[in-house]
Structure 1
Amino acid sequence: MTVLEKETDIGNLRAEEERILATFTRRLIEIAAVSGARGAAASPTATLNAMRLPAIALDRHGFVVDVNSAAEAVFDNNIKIKDRRLFVRDLDSRTLIKDAIDQLSGPPRLNSLAVEPVIVPRTDKLPVIVRIWPFEGPEHHPGQEIHALMTLNALGPRPGPPATILAKTFRLTPSEAKLACIIARGAPPDIAARELKISRETARNQLKSVFAKTDTHRQSELVALLLQVE
């Protein structure tokens, strides 16, 4: 497989990951609703927080009812809560989110996705994917005023295995191990090159070496393998 083929596969991987994430998130929302129906004390956002999913609860008018700590970790000057609303600095994204919230004025339907995801760009960071899910909880639940759940998927580096462990496990050089650590967090080679302050060509050559030493051929295979290392 050539480097170009690998890069194409990486692009396909990101699209596939996005599709899987949407399906997975839908299932987590269903679990949160079922937990409330069974009388669980935790709010839907707390239930999703335990699953490490950033979530914001909205009332019928689009005002923020609750925010979990996973969502708070995503907030910065580009996206945050302001005056009980989700504020995004990008004007186009702000308009799309407002329109999406306005669509939720009717009866909520848990089994459907009301709107397309909104991509919120961030300065010097990869974007945040915002989804708004209709939510129907049990009437007796303390969070019965919740009309929708907003989930945030902040793209970019995520915690991965330590570089020193990767180096010892796969006999990587220190430079290769640092690259592998970033790749394991879901970042593409170009982002890894920027973070390591090396050229794209150097990053690609190191990635080829990591592929060889780990006996993997695609980034999806490499990430799945590296994430098994703790």
Structure 2
Amino acid sequence: MRISKKMIGSELARGALSVLARNVLCLCHQIVMTDAHELDRVDGAFVIGMPSMTDNEFDQCVAGFYQAASGQVDWGQALRALHEAFSLWAIHIFGLDMASGTITFSFEVGDARPEAAIDFARTWHRHDPRTRLALQLDEGQWMNCREHFDDAFVARDPFYQEFLIPYGGRWVSGMKLVEDGAFVSLLAMMRGPHQIPFSKSEDALAHRLAHHLSLAVKLYRTNSRLANQASNSLALLGKIEAPLLLIDEQRRIHFANPAARSILDAAETLVERGDELFCRRAHDDTELLLALRRLRLSNNAYLGDAVAPEEKAFMRCALPGSAHHFGVYLNAIRPETSMGAFGRTPLAMVLLHDPRRRLQLDPFMVGAAFDLTPAESQLAVGIARGMSVNEVAIARGVSIETVRSQVKSIFAKTGTSQQSDLVSLLATLPTHTR
């Protein structure tokens, strides 16, 4: 493969090549240090086997699980040992109440962006073929995705192409940790697209560790130390750079991240009175009320309930002394469709855009504005930064046809027909949703 100077100069291409180079060096070193019997054959090729873990390291890792279950250390600290030992992109354990479809607890460690967890809870958990398969397992049964989802499946599956791979994930091995009536707990150990899949000997070691993790989760439940999932989700929202709030249909503010709190403190367009959100101008405040009503967060609580609820709404607030308008994007967060990740109260996720701020484009904001998938929003931002379709395909490790298909979808959703129009549109973000 020939790599042009333009490709090398690309931010994402450099990142992909850097990751690939590190993995190749690591692979070469492991091959030198590994005997032939420690290699597993995967799709005709040899893959490195068991990671290096001494008996003492194994015991310390197991001890960490039980310490987390009893509240002596946090789960992040306990899971990090697994993350490092297996060179993971991310590790995730979570509990599900199958009767209500809600997440009862969720802990994750790794390099995945917090937006990935939010998008998964809001939308993509419904499209995840891995979770559907894992829920069919018996308690204690292990699964490796490479035994179920081949490259052809991944190449055509929307969950992989539109969500997981764009965020940096690809391979998963895991186990059903607990099944107790309607309660289920799952473990997912994940690697990225530029890493190698899990080998049989790695699975064997991880399975031994997961047996203790299963017992620790049962102890955790018995001790009634289940974390509040809404609190975990709020912690993730706090890491998002775009100004973001959660409000209910009565405008009560359930959460405001630091960027949104700064806007509220300035009280230029939006203000907090008591614990509720208001607009300074009466006209804008009426528009906020109407936007919330279009979401219909409560069932059978409005005249004309035959009208289908909207999942997103948009409004503008006038900026004093300026011809610009403040953009307010509202997205419905319904417990029944978000696995209860933000609690049992229907909420509106409010994203704010100040056109006077010339910050780096935020894919999360762009996705919310135009209803783009994670793959499409990252691609749109990449195009705005001058990347080519070929460079994006190489960086993600997907086909050019896949990226071109995503470009067409972006054009359709944004109402543009060529890349120059898209760049112009993103320069200021839209003043209305499509």
TM-score (norm 2): 0.26
Higher relative contact order (CA 8 A, sep 6+): 1
Q: Which structure would you say has the larger Rg?
A: 2
TM-score by length of 1: 0.46
